[in-house]
């Protein structure tokens, strides 16, 4: 379903009319054009607060990019990247300059007490006006759960409110702001997340706080095909978000096993065949589904690296009017089926070491939604499952979830007009996301270098006003 309002306000006449009437003016979002394009282009400004821990790692990651690097006062430990010699030039935040930045990155990981938050203001107050449209703000902090002292936890938690507010202020120009909370000594795990959140791949992810923990050394991967050699199972793969996940993971080098309902087999094959993927017709809520899927994997590939529980349904009715089969099928497809499939795959040791499980929650599961007690219940349950499993999985296997907001698919096209329009506009970017936005977040979780990203629920919602 095309967004007619978005198209209209992006014409010269429509833009002027929207501005004079005070209506939202969603900016066109820049998404990835080529897999080999640099993750960040233009100028990047780096700053740091007291005791910053990530500056050297940032210097290495960003130094290898073609972006021109600048640093604010206080950042003197940016390492030269191997080979490029791209060392950041000092930038005078107090001076007048025409220099514009496509990204602002601030390392606040060393802040010990609220008084030190002033460094955040000192960096962003002069630089935020220099952020280009479709710009990126990334703040690095320390996970407050790992802070021993209350003042430190307060300062680190404060970053969340700051970043969410910056995301709201910058969203109207299509820019995003996100926070990466690292555990102590987990700086080396930052790379895949810094790359994702600075790149056009995260165009519809804003106002998020991601926790990054310690993990083994990230393996060297081919940046253009980081999933080469991996096998991905994707449920609900025949259309919408599932089809985009299949295409994105295949683009990144994975071999695909797509699953969908028997009635959707033809559409499923139309998605998987051009990618040389395999198609399995299966209702995942059927009691025999886990065994059927496990048998298929055992026979076709001998194991699986990436398990993406995407299939989902809505059966909306207010609670008093909801028939029991609406309740049962919604819980079964969205919540129970994925867990039973995981149980079977784990029991038969079909999930390979360093595997990735990704579940799809929803902002309905975070905020609740009128007429969706069943769906919100299931999608909230997904969050509980992911958080518990993240503590239990072994052999380098991670589990995370994405919680999409309003994404333009058949599911949202079926909504009544007013609900659909509200869903599109009620976020900081004033527009719906695309299936590829969800798929890109999943590809980031699946990256072999994302081993420290575990137990996260990242919303792909343009910072929807719904929920926390
Ligand atoms: P969609 O309806 O377009 O596609 C869902 C796919 O799952 C379909 O191909 C369908 O045939 C398949 N499916 C349904 N029941 C199945 C079953 N029992 N067994 C096997 N396959 C089954 O939906 P979508 O918008 O692409 O959503 C994908 C996922 O994202 C779902 O989990 C959904 O709940 C979630 N989500 C979507 C949005 C959105 O705005 N579109 C928002 C939040 C969450």
Of 212 and 14, the one with more pLDDT: 212
Which of the listed residues 205, 234, 236 should we mutate to test ligand 1's pocket, taking the one with most ligand atoms within 8 A of CB?
236
Put the strands of the sheet holding 43-48 in their side by side order. Answer: 89-90, 68-71, 43-48, 101-107, 131-142, 176-182, 208-212
Q: Encode 71-90: b = buried (16+ Cβ within 10 Å), e = exposed.
A: bbebbeebeebeeeebebee
Domains of the chain: 41-212 (3.40.50.720), 231-460 (3.40.50.720)
The helices-and-strands tally (H runs, E runs) of the chain is 16, 14
Q: How far away, in angstroms, is 313 Cα from ligand 1 center?
A: 5
Check residue 24 and report its DSSP letter: -
Q: Which of 237, 270, 277, 271 is nearest to 254 (CA)?
A: 277
Q: How far is CA 190 from CA 140, 152, 167, 196, 211, in A?
A: 9, 21, 21, 10, 10
Q: Between the CA atoms of 30, 33, 34 and 40, what dihedral angle is there, to the nearest 10 degrees?
A: -10
Coil, helix or strand at residue 136: strand
346-379 burial code (b ≥16 CB/10 A, e <16): beeebbbebbbbbbbbbbbbbbbbebbbbbbbbb
What is the average pLDDT across 291-312?
98
CB 284 within 8 A of CB 341: yes
Give me the percent of the chain exceeding a pLDDT of 90.
Answer: 81
Ligand 1 contact via 312 beta carbon (within 6 Å): yes
pLDDT of residue 220: 79
Position 382 scores a pLDDT of 98
How far apart (Å, rounded) are the C-alpha atoms in residues 244 and 441?
11
Three-class DSSP category at 70: strand
Instruction: Show the tokens assigned to 185.
Output: 């000594």
CA atoms within 13 A on the CB side of 218: 23
Tokens of 49: 């607060």
Token pair for 365: 């599961």
Which pairs with CB-CB distance under 8 Å and at least 24 residues apart come from 156-161? 156/108, 156/111, 156/181, 158/114, 158/117, 159/108, 159/111, 159/120, 159/209, 160/209
DSSP 464: B
Catalytic residues: 375
Helices (H), 199-336: 240-251, 265-272, 289-300, 324-331
Asked if residue 426 has pLDDT above 60, the reply is yes
Least confident of 25-29, 159-163, 189-193, 361-365: 25-29
Instruction: Determine the distance from the C-alpha atom of residue 229 to the mean position of all C-alpha atoms in its chain, rounded to a whole number.
Output: 23
pLDDT at 79: 55
Which pLDDT belongs to residue 76?
Answer: 65
Q: For residues 366 and 200, give the distance between their C-alpha atoms in angstroms, rounded to a whole number.
A: 26
HSE toward the beta carbon, residue 365, CA cutoff 13 A: 29
Mean per-residue pLDDT, 191-212: 98
Q: CA 234, CA 309: separation in Å to the nearest integer?
A: 6
**Ligand 1 binding pocket includes 415 (Cβ within 6 Å):** no
For residue range 79-116, what is the model confidence (pLDDT) as tens digits?
Answer: 554 445 557 889 999 998 999 999 999 999 999 999 99
Is it the case that residue 173 has pLDDT exceeding 80?
Answer: yes
CB contact set of 48 (below 8 Å; sequence gap of 6+):
54, 55, 72, 74, 75, 106, 107, 108, 110, 119
pLDDT classification of 212: cutoffs 50, 70, 90? very high
Q: What angle do CA 220, 221, 226 make, to 5 degrees?
A: 160
Start-to-end CA span in the chain (Å): 28
pTM for this entry: 0.96
CA pair distance 257, 278, nearest whole angstrom: 5
CA distance 232 to 244: 13
What's the rounded mean pLDDT across residues 395-411? 95
Which residue's structure tokens are 């599109």? Answer: 424
pLDDT of residue 82: 44
Cβ of 240 below 6 Å from ligand 1: yes
Q: 103 forms bridges with which residues in the sheet?
A: 44, 136
Burial of 12 (0-12, 13-18, 19+ CB in 10 A): exposed
State yes or no: pLDDT of 74 exceeds 80: no
Name the residue among 30, 459, 408, 27 with its Cα closest to residue 205. Answer: 459
Ligand 1 close to Cβ of residue 410 (< 6 A): yes
Which tops the pLDDT comparison, 219 or 436? 436
Q: Would you call 276 exposed, middle or buried from its count of C-beta atoms within 10 A (0-12, 13-18, 19+)?
A: exposed
In ligand 1, the atom with minimum distance to the C-alpha of 268 is 9
Cα 79 from Cα 56, distance rounded (Å) = 5
418 pLDDT band, cuts 50/70/90, is confident
Q: Which pLDDT value is given to residue 412?
A: 86
- Tell me what pLDDT residue 81 has: 46
Task: Compute the CA torsion angle 204, 206, 211, 213 (nearest 10 deg).
Answer: 50
Chain segment 327-379, per-residue pLDDT in tens:
999 999 999 999 999 999 999 999 999 999 999 999 999 999 999 999 999 99
| CA–centroid distance, residue 310 to ligand 1 (Å) | 6
How far is the centre of ligand 1, averaged over its atoms, from the C-alpha of 51 (Å)? 45
Angle at 343 between CA 340 and CA 348, to 5 degrees: 130
Nearest CA to ligand 1 atom 28: 241
Q: What average pLDDT does the structure give for the chain?
A: 94
Any atom of ligand 1 within 6 Å of the Cβ of 407: yes
| pLDDT tier at 78, thresholds 50, 70, 90 | low
Weakest-pLDDT range from 69-78, 326-335, 431-440 = 69-78
């Amino acid at each position: 379903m095309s967004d007619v309002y978005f198209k209209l306000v992006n014409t010269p006449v429509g833009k002027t009319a929207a501005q004079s009437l005070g209506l939202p003016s969603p900016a066109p979002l820049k998404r990835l054009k080529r897999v080999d394009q640099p993750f960040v282009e233009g100028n990047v400004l780096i700053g740091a607060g007291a005791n910053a821990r990530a500056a050297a790692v940032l210097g290495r990651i960003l130094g290898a990019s073609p972006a021109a690097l600048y640093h604010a006062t206080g950042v003197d430990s940016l390492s030269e990247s191997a080979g490029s010699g791209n060392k950041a030039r000092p930038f005078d935040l107090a001076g007048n300059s025409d220099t514009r930045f496509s990204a602002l990155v601030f390392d606040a990981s060393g802040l010990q007490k609220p008084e030190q938050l002033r460094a955040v203001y000192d960096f962003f107050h002069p630089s935020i006006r220099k952020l280009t449209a479709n710009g990126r703000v990334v703040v690095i902090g320390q996970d407050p759960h790992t802070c021993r002292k209350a003042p430190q936890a307060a300062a680190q938690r404060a970053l969340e409110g700051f970043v969410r507010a910056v995301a709201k202020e910058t969203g109207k120009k299509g820019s995003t702001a996100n926070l990466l909370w690292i555990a102590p000594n987990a700086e080396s795990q930052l790379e895949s997340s810094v790359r994702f959140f600075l790149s056009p791949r995260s165009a519809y992810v804003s106002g998020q706080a991601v926790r990054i923990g310690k993990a083994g050394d990230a393996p060297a991967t081919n940046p253009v095909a980081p999933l080469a050699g991996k096998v991905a199972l994707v449920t609900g793969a025949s259309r919408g978000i599932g089809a985009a996940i299949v295409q994105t993971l295949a683009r990144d080098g994975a071999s695909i096993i797509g699953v969908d309902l028997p009635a959707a087999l033809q559409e499923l094959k139309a998605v998987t065949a051009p990618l040389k993927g395999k198609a399995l017709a299966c209702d995942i809520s059927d009691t025999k589904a886990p065994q059927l899927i496990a048998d298929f994997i055992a026979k076709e590939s001998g194991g699986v690296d990436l398990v993406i529980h995407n299939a989902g349904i809505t059966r909306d009715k207010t609670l008093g009017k909801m028939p029991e089969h609406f309740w049962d099928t919604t819980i079964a497809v969205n919540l129970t089926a994925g867990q039973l499939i995981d149980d079977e795959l784990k029991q038969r040791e079909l999930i390979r070491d360093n595997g990735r499980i990704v579940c799809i929650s929803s902002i309905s599961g975070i905020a609740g939604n009128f007429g969706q007690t069943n769906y919100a219940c299931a999608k909230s349950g997904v969050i509980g499952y992911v958080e518990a499993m993240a503590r239990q999985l072994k052999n380098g296997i991670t589990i995370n979830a994405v919680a999409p907001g309003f994404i333009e698919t058949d599911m949202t096209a079926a909504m009544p007009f007013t609900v659909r329009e509200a869903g599109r506009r009620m976020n900081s970017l004033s527009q719906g996301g695309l299936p590829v936005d969800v798929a890109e977040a999943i590809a980031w979780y699946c990256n072999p270098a994302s081993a420290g990203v575990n137990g996260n629920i990242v919303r792909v919602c343009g910072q929807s006003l719904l929920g926390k």
